[in-house]
Chains A and B, each alone.
Chain A
């Protein structure tokens, strides 16, 4: 079932059109990949969904509700949140404080006990964070920071997680750990919209995907369809793709 639906969404930066009528959907309990080169509009798409950038036209709906141009802090209360590119942790605060702030949107309606329970659950999923709860987030390694960024987002108990370049800046081993966690999250019931430049890794864990070029969707299909598409192979997977 379609959880998130974008219909003909356009957006601009100071008049410069960055999205030229994007229509896509992300299904429940699936990983949907959003692929493309730098500047194709992938992060812009996530920012428009999250309310960090206004949509100039079009419609965004989530679980049947209209989400278009809601404020970012309201969007997270509707059940979807973004792990931004570059992680954007609260570097000067501890790992624990980052997790607590991750649950900020739930603080009014849920008990402290429930939040503590969820912190324990998230730490169980990312054991590396359990050993570092009192450390400042800025002192963690790149891989640990990415885990914390995902954990912080999970603390808002989202139905849909938007991930922007989660493997960016990570060593191959840390990146594959992150991808494995994303797959686990999806299996546990959190749907994922994944923006990624590492196309082969993204399509390995994704169910479906879209390819963006200069603000437009040029291809869509299941991961298998995209992996076997000649254009995708040539543009994003390189000549040696046969090995993958």
Chain B
């Protein structure tokens, strides 16, 4: 396989994994905009989406039913997390609320281990394993599914914000909570919707990714950290920025993992790929502290 074909292969892998990071990042952005809180349980919703789908198909359900039911269950869990963290701590500082979401992530992770054990699980690929060819590069059809589902989800979220009253109300809350309350928007309900929506998006990501990369109870934290980084690199609070940031991280990770051996004659282990992606992300933030698509904060006074 030529270098170009390898490059295509790594790019597709990177974009598909990065797209899921972006989806998690989008979830971070939605909740951050509604509450100012970073929800560190976000990655657990990805894990739960994948695990639930495996469990439901294991019960003999068709894939589509299992997927829909998984999204519904994880959305309900997202709403529950909001009820038990944000809602039960009115007046608490943002830091306290963030720590509460970290607590929730431990509970979800522990619960998943109790339910499904420590082993990795897998879903059957949605459209088989026959690779699609771009030149000599073979692309697993599941990767196309991942990219397609993420693309449709992101467009769906944008349409929701642009054309529905609930979406506009959420934007209004993000712009100014007091003004939103003064026009009659129930902030608690908006916060609930933001958690439900973020959980649903993450679950979708988990469901489509599981056939490609498998899923384990402990994987949530990785999605949380990378999704959080995607959201920050993209510009915290900017949904599209988060998706761009996620794809950038995924691609960097895949390229670093793929080419590191070749470029350094195996001097640097390919396991460093994540570290390289993170280093580039830090570089981006050093050059552009507000993130790729974020706005520069206005200085007071």
Interface residues of A (CB under 8 A from B): 50-52, 71-73, 76-77, 81-82, 84, 88-93, 97, 100-102, 104-107, 152-153, 155-156
Contacts and interface: CB of A to CB of B under 8 A. Distances in A.
30 contacts: A51-B181, A52-B178, A52-B182, A71-B181, A71-B186, A72-B178, A73-B181, A73-B184, A73-B186, A76-B182, A76-B183, A81-B183, A84-B178, A88-B176, A89-B179, A90-B172, A90-B176, A90-B179, A90-B180, A91-B175, A93-B168, A100-B165, A100-B168, A104-B165, A104-B169, A104-B184, A104-B185, A105-B183, A155-B183, A156-B183
A106 B176 CA distance: 20
Contacts of A100: 165, 168
Interface in B121-163: none
Contacts of A52: 178, 181-182
Interface of B: 165, 168-169, 171-172, 175-176, 178-187
Contact of A93 (B175, B181, B182, B187): B175
B183 A104 contact: yes
B202 to A, nearest CB: 25
B235 to A, nearest CB: 14
A88 to B, nearest CB: 4
Given A52-B182, A76-B182, A104-B185, 8 more contacts: A82-B182, A84-B182, A88-B179, A90-B179, A101-B180, A104-B184, A153-B182, A156-B183
A90 B181 CA distance: 12
Contact of B187 (A73, A97, A107, A153): A73
Contact of B183 (A51, A92, A101): A101
Name the residue among B169, B176, B180, B181 with the largest chain A CB count within 10 angstroms. B181
A90 B186 CA distance: 16
Contact of A50 (B165, B169, B182, B186): B182
Nearest to B189: A73
A47 B252 CA distance: 50
A90 B175 contact: yes
Contacts of B180: 90, 101
Contact of B185 (A73, A91, A153): A73
Q: Nearest 5 CB-CB pairs, A to B?
A: A105-B184, A72-B181, A88-B179, A76-B184, A104-B184
B165 A92 contact: no
Nearest to B176: A88
B171 A90 contact: yes
A142 to B, nearest CB: 17
A92 B182 contact: no
